[in-house]
């Protein structure tokens, strides 16, 4: 783990090492495997691009049931601030009609994106929708939609790495870094 990284005009310091991320995903996958062990219809893993790519890839390697992969891209951030407005940047790459859907997100904070994603999945005919997030900021999550699967809860800090970015940089780091306090 690097002692710090600089992305654009911000400096980030180590927060969660890759090994801890993998342990959390291992535990999360065990819960999902238990819930879907008797499933007869393969569920759809709905990967929310771009942030969830690394998380979804690691999670899928640990799932021991058949599943489909569908992606879509939404955006709500400008720099390090959430705009509160969800834009659908790329539509669904496959059908959700009649399927059990597990939405995989990199991080859930306010829940505005989750609200929009669940609404989209239901309008596309999903039979069941569950939310799976690598990270959750419980101090700022104010929605009533349950987050069914959470790998780790974290404080309300801005982070990058393992798929998370600051203005599109930082996703490629396997460790997670937090914005350095000024």
CA dist 164 → 32, 38, 86, 108, 144 (Å): 23, 33, 17, 12, 24
Query: 35, 66, 109, 175: which one is catalytic?
Result: 109
**Strand pairing of 10-16 and 176-179?**
antiparallel
Distance from C-alpha of 29 to C-alpha of 51, rounded to nearest angstrom: 19
Confirm if 54 and 82 have CB atoms less than 8 A apart: no
Contacts of 71 (CB under 8 A, 6+ apart): 46, 47, 48, 49, 90, 92, 93
DSSP 8-state secondary structure symbol assigned to residue 170: S
Catalytic-residue membership of 66: no
Instruction: Give the active site residues.
Output: 109
């Amino acid at each position: 783990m690097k002692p710090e990284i600089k992305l654009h005009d911000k400096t980030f310091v180590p927060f969660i090492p890759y090994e801890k991320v993998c342990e959390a995903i291992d535990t999360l996958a065990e819960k999902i495997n238990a819930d879907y062990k008797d499933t007869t219809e393969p569920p759809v893993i709905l990967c929310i691009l771009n942030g969830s790519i690394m998380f979804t890839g690691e999670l899928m390697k640990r799932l021991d049931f058949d599943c489909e992969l569908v992606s879509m891209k939404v955006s709500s951030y400008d720099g390090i601030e959430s705009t509160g407005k969800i834009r659908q940047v790329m539509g669904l790459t496959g059908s959700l009609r009649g399927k059990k859907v597990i939405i995989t997100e990199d991080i859930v904070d306010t829940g505005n994106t989750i609200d929009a994603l669940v609404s989209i999945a239901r309008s596309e005919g999903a039979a069941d929708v569950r939310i799976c997030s690598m990270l959750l900021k419980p101090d700022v999550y104010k929605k009533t939609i349950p987050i069914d699967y959470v790998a780790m809860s974290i404080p309300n800090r801005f982070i990058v790495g393992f798929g998370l970015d600051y203005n599109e940089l930082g996703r490629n780091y396997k460790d997670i870094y937090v914005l350095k306090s000024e």
